[in-house]
Amino acid sequence: MTLIKFIEIMAILVGAFSGFIEARRKRMDLVGVFTVAFITAFGGGTMRDLLLDKRPLFWVTHQEYAILIFVLALVASPLIRTLRQIVSERLIVIADAIGLGLFTIAGVASALAHGMPLFIASMMGVITGIFGGVLRDIVCNEVPMVFRDGRPYAICAFLGSWMFIGMRLYGIDYDTALWTSAFFITALRLISWKFGMRVPASGP
Amino acid sequence: MTLIKFIEIMAILVGAFSGFIEARRKRMDLVGVFTVAFITAFGGGTMRDLLLDKRPLFWVTHQEYAILIFVLALVASPLIRTLRQIVSERLIVIADAIGLGLFTIAGVASALAHGMPLFIASMMGVITGIFGGVLRDIVCNEVPMVFRDGRPYAICAFLGSWMFIGMRLYGIDYDTALWTSAFFITALRLISWKFGMRVPASGP
Amino acid sequence: MTLIKFIEIMAILVGAFSGFIEARRKRMDLVGVFTVAFITAFGGGTMRDLLLDKRPLFWVTHQEYAILIFVLALVASPLIRTLRQIVSERLIVIADAIGLGLFTIAGVASALAHGMPLFIASMMGVITGIFGGVLRDIVCNEVPMVFRDGRPYAICAFLGSWMFIGMRLYGIDYDTALWTSAFFITALRLISWKFGMRVPASGP
C-alpha cells in the first residue's frame, strides 16, 4: 500500500471517528452514527465537488470507503467507550492535523486544475479541509466548532493553501509543493495547538 | 390516473403533511409552512440528484406538485388542528411507509441507471427515502428524528434497496423487482412499528 | 461605476453585514465571521445555481467580492459595535430591501433563461432573495427568521417575481421589467415594514 493511500485511509478513519463520538454524544442510533461519520469523513470534499460541479464524487468511485465506515459503524457503536480509552486525545489531534493538511491541499489542487481564480482555490482548499466537521455539527444541531472555538484550524488550512499556490506559481513541481504545504498545515496546526494560540474572536 | 401516479401524489402529500405539522410546532408563518413542507416532500430526491448530478430535478419538470403544496399551505395552516383529528396517527404511518418504499426504490433504480456501484446505489435509495425528513428537521433546528428515535426506518429502506439490487442482478424484470421491494420496505416498516422493534443505539 | 454594479456591491455588503452581526451574536471567531458573512451574501444565488446546475458560480467568477468580504471580516470584527452605532436600523432595512428586490429578480430572470416553468422560476427568484439568510440562520443554529417572524419578506419577493414574469409575457422589454419589479419588491417590503403588516402564522 502506498504512503498516500495509507494517509488517505487514516484521514478518513479520523473523520469517521470524530463523527462516531459526536453522534454518540447525541445519543444517536446506528443509522445516525453511520450517517454522521460518513458526512464528517466526506462532507468537505463533496461540498467542494458540488460547488465545482465535479463528478463522480470521490466516495462514489471508491465505495470501499463507504463500506469501511459502514462496517466500523456496526462494530464501533458498542466499542466507542473502549476506543476512546485506547485512542488518546493526542493521537486524535495528530491524525486530524494530518488529515487537515492532506485534504486541504487536495482541495486546492483540484480547484486549480479546474481553473479557479487563486483566492477561490484557497477557499476550496479550506472548505475541503473543514466542511466535514461543519456539516457534522449542523446535523448534530450545534454551532460549528470550527467557527467558534478560537483555535487556529481553518487558518492553518488557509495559509497552507497559499503556500501551495505560491510554490506552484514559482514552478515548483506538484509533488514537492503538495507534500511541503500539507506538512506545513499539519505542523502549524500541531504547534498552535501545543502553545494554545488563539484566533481573534468577534468580541463581546 | 395510473396507480403509480396515485401513490406518487399520496407519498408527496404525506411528506408535505409531516412538514406542515413540524412547521406548525415551530410556530412558523405561511412562508415557513410551505418551505418546510416542500423540503420534506422533495428534499430526498433533490439531494440524490445533486449527488448524481442529474437534471432537471423532479419537481422542476413537474411544477404541478410544487403548486399543489403551495395551495395546500395556503389552506392547511388554519386547518392543521382539524386535519390532525381527521387523519389518524395510524393512517399517517401507513401512508408514510408506502412513500418510504416507493421513493427508496425509485432512488436505487435511478442510481443503478447512472451506473453507480451497488453499495452507493443502496445508499442513494436510503437518501431518497429519508433525507426529506432529515432536511426538515435541520431547517426546524432539531437533531434529525431518523438518526435518534431508534425505530427501524432507514434500515427498512436499506434492506429493501438490496432486495431490489439482488432481484435485478438475478435478471428479474424491472417492474416485478420494483413492486416487490417497495412492498417489502413498506411491510417491514409497518411490522417493525407494530411490534416496537428497536435499532441498537450508540449507548451511554 | 455603473448603477447596477453599485447596487450589486451594496446588496452584497448588506448581506455580509447581517452575517457579521449574527456571527458576533454567536460569539464566533474570525473564521466564523467570514464564513457566515460569505454564506449570507452568496448563499441564495449559490443554492439557485446548484438547483439549476449553472456554473461557474457568481462568486467564483467574481473573486473580488470574496476578497472584499474577507478584508471586511478582518477589519469588521473589532468594529462591529461602532458600525452598528453608525449604521442605523433604518438604513439596514432599506439597503436589505433593495438587495431583496435586485437578487430576487436576478434569480427569476436566470431561471426563465434556463427555460424553467413559471412557478418554478418564481420559486427560484424567492430562493435567490431569501436563502442567504436561511443558510446563515441554519449555520448559526437558529430556526430561519424568514420562516417565523411573520413579516412580509419572502412574500414581497414572490409577488415581485410574478410581476416580472407577467411583464415579460406581455412583451415588456427586459430592463423595464427588471427595474420595475425590483423596485416593486423593495417598495412593498419597506411599506409592509413601516405599517407592521403580518403574514398569517400557522396558529397555535
Q: Does A7 touch chain C (CB under 8 A)?
A: no
Question: What is the structure's pLDDT at A164?
Answer: 97
Question: What is the structure's pLDDT at A202?
Answer: 63
Q: What is the mean pLDDT of chain B?
A: 89
At B112-166, the pLDDT tens digits run: 999 999 999 999 999 999 999 999 999 999 999 999 888 999 999 999 999 999 9
Residue A57 pLDDT > 60, yes or no?
yes
C141 contact residues in A (CB cutoff 8 A): 138, 141-143
Residue C127 pLDDT > 90, yes or no?
yes
Question: Cβ of C67 and A123 within 8 Å?
Answer: no
Residue A195 pLDDT > 70, yes or no?
yes
Provide the shortest C-alpha distance from residue A113 to chain C (in Å). Answer: 14
Q: Does A32 touch chain B (CB under 8 A)?
A: yes
C55, C59, C141 ranked by CB distance to A53: nearest: C55
B53 contact residues in C (CB cutoff 8 A): 53
Range list of H helices, C118-153: 118-139
Q: Average pLDDT in the C151-173 region?
A: 96
Go through chain B and tell me how many residues it has.
204
Q: How far apart are CA C129 and CA C123, in angstroms?
A: 10
- pLDDT category of residue B51 using cuts at 50, 70 and 90: very high
pLDDT > 70 fraction of chain A, expressed in percent and rounded = 95
Q: Does C202 touch chain B (CB under 8 A)?
A: yes
Go through chain C and tell me how many residues it has.
204
- Which residue in chain A has the smallest CA separation from C70? A119
ipTM of this predicted complex? 0.93
Residue A1 pLDDT > 90, yes or no?
no
Question: What is the structure's pLDDT at C1?
Answer: 61
At B14-35, the pLDDT tens digits run: 889 888 888 888 889 889 999 9
Q: How far apart are CA C40 and CA C26, in angstroms?
A: 15
Mutate to test the interface with A, among C25, C31, C51, C77 (most CBs of A within 10 A): C31
A116 contact residues in C (CB cutoff 8 A): 60
Question: What is the structure's pLDDT at C90?
Answer: 82
B123, B142, B153 ranked by CB distance to A141: nearest: B142
Contact A22, A40 (CB under 8 A): yes
Q: How far apart are CA A150 and CA A143, in angstroms?
A: 13
Residue A199 pLDDT > 70, yes or no?
yes
What are the angstrom distances between the C-alpha of C74 and each of B95, C30, C71? 52, 7, 5
- Work out whether the CA dihedral A126, C28, B134, B40 comes out positive or negative: negative
Provide the shortest C-alpha distance from residue B24 to chain C (in Å). Answer: 5
Q: Average pLDDT in the A65-92 region?
A: 81
- What 8-state DSSP symbol labels residue A87? S
A2 versus C54: which is more confidently predicted? C54
Q: What is the mean pLDDT of chain C?
A: 89
Enter the C-alpha cell of residue A69.
Answer: 465506515
C28, C63, C70 ranked by CB distance to A202: nearest: C28
Q: Does B167 touch chain A (CB under 8 A)?
A: no
Contact A16, A69 (CB under 8 A): yes
B10 versus B134: which is more confidently predicted? B134
Q: Minimal CA–CA distance to C157: which of C139, C130, C121, C191?
A: C130
Question: What is the structure's pLDDT at A71?
Answer: 93
- pLDDT category of residue C200 using cuts at 50, 70 and 90: confident
Question: What is the structure's pLDDT at B25?
Answer: 85
Task: Name the residue with cell 462496517.
Answer: A71
Question: Cβ of C81 and A153 within 8 Å?
Answer: no
Long-range contacts of B116-120 (CB under 8 A, 24+ apart): B116/A60, B116/B52, B117/A60, B117/A61, B117/A63, B118/A63, B118/B165, B119/A63, B119/A66, B119/A67, B119/A70, B120/A59, B120/A60, B120/A63, B120/A66
- Phi, psi dihedral angles at A184 (to 5 degrees): -60, -45
Q: Does B155 touch chain A (CB under 8 A)?
A: yes
C141 contact residues in B (CB cutoff 8 A): 141
pTM (2 d.p.): 0.95
Q: Does A2 touch chain C (CB under 8 A)?
A: no
3-state secondary structure of A29: strand
pLDDT > 70 fraction of chain B, expressed in percent and rounded = 95
